[in-house]
Amino acid sequence: MRNYLVTFFAVFILSVPWFALTYPDQMRDFLLVVSDTGDQFASVILSHNPKTVEQIQSKYIASNIGIPNKKVRILLVPGHEANYGGAEYGSIKERDLTLELAKDLERIMGANSHYQVMVTRDDKTWSPTFDSYFKNNWQDIVTWTTAHREEISHLVSIGYVKPVVPTIIHNKAPTGVAYRLFGFTKWANENDVDIIIHIHFNDNPGHGINTPGDYSGFSIYVPEKQYYNSTTTIAVANTIFSRLSKLNPVSDLPGESTGIVEEPDLIAIGAYNTSDAASMLIEYGYIYEQQFVNTSLRAVSINDLAFQTYLGLQDFFDKNNAVKSAVSFNTLLLPHEWRNLVSKNEGTSGEIYALQTALMLDGVYPPQNTKMNDCPRTGSFGPCTLKALEAFQKKYGIDGEKGIVGPDTRSLLNEKYGTNRLI
Ligand SMILES: [Zn+2]
Say what the pLDDT of residue 15 is.
29
Q: How far is the CA of 76 from the centre of ligand 1 (A)?
A: 14
Q: Enumerate long-range contacts of 325-329, CB under 8 Å, 24 or more apart.
A: 328/423, 329/361, 329/417
Q: How far is the CA of 82 from the centre of ligand 1 (A)?
A: 12
3-class DSSP state for residue 35? helix
Q: How far is the CA of 406 from the centre of ligand 1 (A)?
A: 42
Q: How far is the CA of 93 from the centre of ligand 1 (A)?
A: 10
Q: How far is the CA of 200 from the centre of ligand 1 (A)?
A: 4
Say what the pLDDT of residue 224 is.
86
DSSP state, residue 268: G
Q: How far is the CA of 80 from the centre of ligand 1 (A)?
A: 6
Q: How far is the CA of 325 from the centre of ligand 1 (A)?
A: 34
Q: How far is the CA of 335 from the centre of ligand 1 (A)?
A: 32
Residues in the chain predicted with pLDDT less than 70, given as ranges, are 1-45, 66, 68, 165-171, 320-327, 422-423
3-class DSSP state for residue 140? helix
- Spatial neighbors of 357 by CB under 8 A, at least 6 apart, are 247, 331, 333, 334, 336, 377
Say what the pLDDT of residue 226 is.
76
Q: How far is the CA of 153 from the centre of ligand 1 (A)?
A: 28
The candidate with the shortest Cα–Cα distance to 93, out of 341, 323, 287, is 287
Q: What is the pLDDT of residues 397-421, one digit of tens each?
A: 999 999 899 999 999 999 999 988 7
- Spatial neighbors of 319 by CB under 8 A, at least 6 apart, are none
Say what the pLDDT of residue 376 is.
93
Say what the pLDDT of residue 230 is.
95
Say what the pLDDT of residue 360 is.
96
The beta strands (E) that lie in 107-229 are given as 115-119, 161-163, 195-202, 219-223
Q: How far is the CA of 152 from the centre of ligand 1 (A)?
A: 27
Does the pTM surpass 0.95? The reply is no
Q: How far is the CA of 98 from the centre of ligand 1 (A)?
A: 8
Q: How far is the CA of 86 from the centre of ligand 1 (A)?
A: 5
User: What are the structural domains, with CATH classification, of the chain?
Assistant: 19-325 (3.40.630.40), 333-417 (1.10.101.10)
Q: How far is the CA of 114 from the centre of ligand 1 (A)?
A: 29
Q: How far is the CA of 191 from the centre of ligand 1 (A)?
A: 25
Q: How far is the CA of 4 from the centre of ligand 1 (A)?
A: 11
Q: How far is the CA of 199 from the centre of ligand 1 (A)?
A: 8
Q: How far is the CA of 5 from the centre of ligand 1 (A)?
A: 10
Q: How far is the CA of 356 from the centre of ligand 1 (A)?
A: 28
Report how far residue 390's alpha carbon sits from residue 397's, in angstroms, rounded to the nearest whole number: 10
Q: How far is the CA of 94 from the centre of ligand 1 (A)?
A: 7
CB 280 within 8 A of CB 224: no
Q: How far is the CA of 79 from the centre of ligand 1 (A)?
A: 5
Q: How far is the CA of 9 from the centre of ligand 1 (A)?
A: 6
Say what the pLDDT of residue 8 is.
29
Q: How far is the CA of 201 from the centre of ligand 1 (A)?
A: 5
- Helix/strand number for the chain, H first, E second: 12, 10
Q: How far is the CA of 121 from the centre of ligand 1 (A)?
A: 15
Q: How far is the CA of 336 from the centre of ligand 1 (A)?
A: 32
Q: How far is the CA of 198 from the centre of ligand 1 (A)?
A: 9
Say what the pLDDT of residue 169 is.
65
Q: What is the pLDDT of residues 369-384, one digit of tens each?
A: 999 999 999 999 999 9
Q: How far is the CA of 215 from the centre of ligand 1 (A)?
A: 15
3-class DSSP state for residue 198? strand
